[in-house]
Amino acid sequence: MRKKRFAYQFSKLFWVFVIGCFMGYIIEVAFTFARTGKFETRQGLIYGPLAPVYGLGTLTFYLILPRFKKVWQVFLASSILGGVTEYLCSYFQEKLFGTVSWDYSDQFLNFNGRTSILYCIVWGVLGIVFIKLVYPYFEKIFDKVLYKIGTKIITAFAIVFMIFNISISSLAAQREYERREHIKADSEIDYFLDEHYPDEILDKVYINRIER
């Protein structure tokens, strides 16, 4: 019984993360088009239209926001949660890979360029949209389809794919950082990454990165 309950909760959290990643990608592409008039990819992983920072933000919203009942509470909580998530993602990306995917240093009241008051407000609005529109329907739909065999199979394949996608994206980014530091390949994995994920490929995938 505990295993079934764990599988149920894990599957739900997994799909919250994936849906958040996908919707975040759509938001980023739409925002970029509105700002520049150009369609540009804003994916955060090598494979698929996925933006993990939004996935993490959505997962945080899902776990914490339902306990708040008033709109202003949801707005304040999601502003803080989204801002902290964005800040931490930027911080760890820079520390691990020597790059950042956004820089708000030119914005009013920014926090080390990793987030800003403006984007905290955006996170607050997204939190309200999530808790009022997305959350109720997700709960109803997910509970209806979760226990179907087809859904379980799809979830299993999706989990394996995401583990691979996150792992290879992290390894490729780390190896790219090593190449910038003139660290020679010294393992089969390094040679594999140099051959299949060179700088030219990663530059096309992550066109908005900034080296630090």
Nearest alpha-carbon partner for 52 in 100, 29, 19, 81: 19
Q: Using pLDDT thresholds of 50, 70 and 90, give the confidence band for residue 42.
A: confident
Check pLDDT > 90 for residue 31.
Answer: no
Tens-digit pLDDT profile for residues 112-146: 999 999 999 999 999 999 999 888 888 888 877 76
User: Whole domain around residue 153: which residue ranges?
Assistant: 2-211
pLDDT computed for residue 32 by the predictor: 85
Specify the 3-state DSSP secondary structure of 106: coil
Query: Higher confidence at residue 90 or residue 7?
Result: 90
Nearest alpha-carbon partner for 166 in 46, 76, 62, 66: 46
DSSP H helical segments within 65-145, as ranges?
71-97, 117-129, 135-145
Whole-angstrom distance, CA of residue 19 vs CA of residue 14: 9
Whole-angstrom distance, CA of residue 113 vs CA of residue 143: 40
Count of domains observed in the chain: 1
- Return phi, psi of residue 165, to 5°: -60, -45
User: What's the mean per-residue pLDDT of the chain?
Assistant: 90
Tens-digit pLDDT profile for residues 199-212: 999 999 988 887 77
Give the contacts of 153 (CB within 8 A, at least 6 positions apart). Answer: none
Q: What angle do CA 132, 19, 48 make, to 5 degrees?
A: 150
Tens-digit pLDDT profile for residues 164-174: 999 999 999 99
Tens-digit pLDDT profile for residues 59-112: 999 999 999 989 999 999 999 999 999 999 999 999 999 899 889 999 889 999
Whole-angstrom distance, CA of residue 80 vs CA of residue 22: 22
The model's pTM = 0.89
